[in-house]
Amino acid sequence: MKKTVVVLGTQWGDEGKGKIVDLLTENADAVVRYQGGHNAGHTLIINDEKTVLHLIPSGILRPGVKCYIGNGVVIEPSALIKEIKQLEASGVDVQSRLFISKSAPVIMPYHITLDQLREQAKGKDAIGTTGRGIGPAYEDKVARRGIRIGDLIDSKLLKDKLQTVLAYHNFVIEHYHNSEPLSFDEVYQSALQQADFIKGMCSDVTGQLHQQLENGDQLLMEGAQGTLLDIDHGTYPFVTSSNTTSGSAAAGSGLGATHIDYVLGITKAYTTRVGGGPFPTELFDEDGIELAKRGVEFGATTGRARRCGWLDLVALKRAVQVNGVTGLCVTKLDVLDTFKTIKVCTGYGQNDFPGAASEFEQIKPEYQKLTGWLSSTKGITDMSALPIEAKRLIEVIEKYTGVPVHIISTGPDRSENIIIKNPMQ
Ligand code: GDP
Ligand code: IMO
Ligand code: MG
């Protein structure tokens, strides 16, 4: 049966979504981004060649696969254009395969200014956003004053909308943040140029996706960020401004909930987080340093060092529940190769799952200790070659969460995976 599969992060992002989406494109006709923006950084490594994608779906390196940016994604046109040009410079055919929803909100220069001014004003309480204007752009969408891609490519509409919305934001920039207002002419002129570049790729993405479904095509829905960064279910207010959970795959693309056949939840074999906010299993000792070093834990978008800690099964179970995860993919198993003892968090010392950052701070993690395997799992593609201790970790994850592990990733390259069950087949 043809399937629509959602791939999403179950932690605080950077679980390896890009790698796994790219892997699964072997059986996909199209890949769809449905939320987030260029705050995402998805790394693909194919035969030692590294590509980092921010807005363009991770299907672009598989010739013939169509790539859609859905209505739920906030689009910064200059970032998008830069990414298109970079891919084209390395010989990838982009413009004939990329489709951009006319209903997607645009990240305008004042959103970026506001994001950065607010973070500065927060000082030590800053969220640690990527500074890309994501939050302010989603706010404008919800406030019903946002500029959409469809407005951007209509110069008259753009002029009218921009005049009103820029006056509003400039007032805040000037009188609340005591900063320099943005020039209408500059913002308008550069928006016109950007619109000119992208207009040939703008379309009714929802209509096209339904056409693909009618044709019996397989769709891969690519999440950004992770469940604990979800605006509702994450560690609020240290979250991003979109729903990162599986419901967004429908809302952010125009599919119906019943069109989704399978949800693949990606989790690292440990945990990382970039930016501020609670992180119950965070390590500040040698083990944390070892995880960061072996996992090369630096942000793919901002280059910031990622905080590292043990796998949190309590949070993972909640992620499995709120996403309706069908199967899990455990990535970066190889990073644990050198650990004599591996810990997993199996309790929070309280019954309720925290509802806000302040409650997360109260958690006293309880751990189960597992024996490490102290041998290389790097590049293993066959379950039978996995050390018994590594199999034990996988079993513990399955038992605690109640869902099967269908893929294990044993290295960053497209080829380094144990595929127990391919969600697309
Ligand atoms: P995403 O945002 O979820 O797509 O993940 P990122 O690309 O931001 O971060 C994941 C990082 O881990 C990237 O550098 C990947 O190349 C790397 N990676 C993915 N899977 C594995 C794995 O199984 N083992 C190792 N060692 N690295 C991996
Ligand atoms: P991918 O798709 C990890 C984090 C930021 C910050 C918070 C809010 O690569 O997994 P924002 O700029 O979205 O307002 O920042 O969310 N964040 C991510 N962390 N991976 C990401 O994306 C992230 N996108 C946003 O660091 O803590
Ligand atoms: Mg990332």
Give the number of whichever ligand sits closest to the CA of residue 132: 2
pLDDT in tens, 174-189: 999 999 999 999 999 9
Only one residue has tokens 């199967």, namely: 327
Mean pLDDT of 364-385: 98
CB atoms within 10 A of CB 284: 10
Ligand 1, residues at Cβ distance < 6 Å: 9, 13-19, 41-43, 45, 300, 331-332, 334-335, 409-412
Per annotation, catalytic residue among 22, 29, 38, 42: 42
List the one residue out of 247, 222, 221 whose CA is nearest residue 232: 247
| Residue type for position 306 | R
CA distances for 178 relative to 118, 172, 182, angstroms: 12, 8, 13
- pLDDT for 303 equals 85
Please list all protein residues whose beta carbon sits less than 5 angstroms from ligand 3, which is an ion.
Answer: 14, 41, 300
Ligand 2, residues at Cβ distance < 6 Å: 9, 12-14, 39-42, 127-130, 132, 134-135, 224-226, 229, 240-241, 274-275, 300
- In this structure, which residue's CA is closest to atom 3 in ligand 2? 13
Residue 279, pLDDT > 80, answer yes
pLDDT band per the 50, 70, 90 thresholds, residue 300: confident
List the one residue out of 417, 330, 406 whose CA is nearest residue 382: 417
Residue 302, pLDDT > 70, answer yes
pLDDT in tens, 196-214: 999 999 999 999 999 999 9
Give dist(CA 139, CA 241) in Å, integer: 8
pLDDT averaged over every residue in the chain: 97
Q: Residue 374: CB partners within 8 Å, gap ≥ 6? A: 337, 338, 339, 340
- pLDDT for 247 equals 98
- In this structure, which residue's CA is closest to atom 13 in ligand 1? 43
Instruction: Please answer whether residues 249 and 5 qualify as being in contact, where contact means their C-beta atoms are separated by less than 8 angstroms.
Output: no
Mean pLDDT of 20-42: 98
List the one residue out of 78, 48, 285, 59 whose CA is nearest residue 186: 78
Give the number of whichever ligand sits closest to the CA of residue 44: 1
CA distances for 307 relative to 60, 258, 275, 411, angstroms: 30, 37, 8, 20
Ligand 2 centre distance from Cα of residue 246 (Å): 17
Q: Is the peptide bond before 237 cis (omega within 30 degrees of 0)?
A: yes
Only one residue has tokens 């990527």, namely: 130
Per annotation, catalytic residue among 14, 22, 115, 312: 14
How do 262-268 and 327-331 pair as beta strands?
parallel
Q: How many CA atoms lie within 13 A of 293 on its CB side?
A: 9
- Computed over its alpha carbons, how large is the radius of gyration of the chain? 21
Q: Residue 127: CB partners within 8 Å, gap ≥ 6? A: 119, 237, 238, 239, 275, 276, 277
Instruction: Please answer whether residues 332 and 19 qualify as being in contact, where contact means their C-beta atoms are separated by less than 8 angstroms.
Output: no
Tokens describing residue 423? 């969600």
CB atoms within 10 A of CB 384: 7
- pLDDT for 119 equals 97
pLDDT band per the 50, 70, 90 thresholds, residue 137: very high
Q: Quick check: is 29 catalytic?
A: no
Q: Which of 332, 337, 418 to mutate to test the pocket of ligand 1 (most atoms within 8 A of CB)?
A: 332
Ligand 3 centre distance from Cα of residue 350 (Å): 31
- pLDDT for 278 equals 96
Give dist(CA 356, CA 376) in Å, integer: 39
Domains and CATH numbers, the chain: 4-101+203-262 (3.40.440.10), 109-199 (1.10.300.10), 267-419 (3.90.170.10)
Mean pLDDT of 336-343: 98
Ligand 2 centre distance from Cα of residue 386 (Å): 32
Instruction: Please answer whether residues 19 and 412 qualify as being in contact, where contact means their C-beta atoms are separated by less than 8 angstroms.
Output: yes
pLDDT band per the 50, 70, 90 thresholds, residue 299: confident
Tokens describing residue 260? 């989704």
- pLDDT for 357 equals 87
Ligand 3 centre distance from Cα of residue 19 (Å): 10
Q: Which of 19, 35, 272, 296 to mutate to test the pocket of ligand 1 (most atoms within 8 A of CB)?
A: 19
- pLDDT for 1 equals 63
Residue 135, pLDDT > 90, answer yes
Find the distance separating the first CA and the last CA of the chain, reported in whole Å.
8
- Determine the atom of ligand 2 nearest the C-alpha atom of 302: 26
Q: Which of 14, 39, 272 to mutate to test the pocket of ligand 2 (most atoms within 8 A of CB)?
A: 39
Instruction: Please answer whether residues 9 and 20 qualify as being in contact, where contact means their C-beta atoms are separated by less than 8 angstroms.
Output: no
SS (H, E, C) the chain: CCCEEEEEECCCCCCCHHHHHHHHHHHCCEEEECCECCCCCEEEEECCEEEEECCCCCCCCCCCCEEEECCCECECHHHHHHHHHHHHHCCCCCCCCEEEECCCEECCHHHHHHHHHHHHHHHHHCCCCCCCCHHHHHHHHHCCCCCEHHHHCCHHHHHHHHHHHHHHHHHHHHHCCCCCCCCHHHHHHHHHHHHHHHHHHEECHHHHHHHHHHCCCCEEEECCCCHHHCCCCCCCCCCCCCCCCCHHHHHCCCCCHHHCCEEEEEEECCEEECCCCCCCCECCCHHHHHHHHHCCCECCCCCCECEEECEEHHHHHHHHHHHCCCEEEEECHHHHHHCCEEEEEEECCCCCCCCCHHHHCCCCCEEEEEECCCCCCCCCCCHHHCCHHHHHHHHHHHHHHCCCEEEEECCCECCCEEECCCCCC
Q: Quick check: is 14 catalytic?
A: yes
Share of the chain above pLDDT 70, in %: 100
Residue 251, pLDDT > 90, answer yes
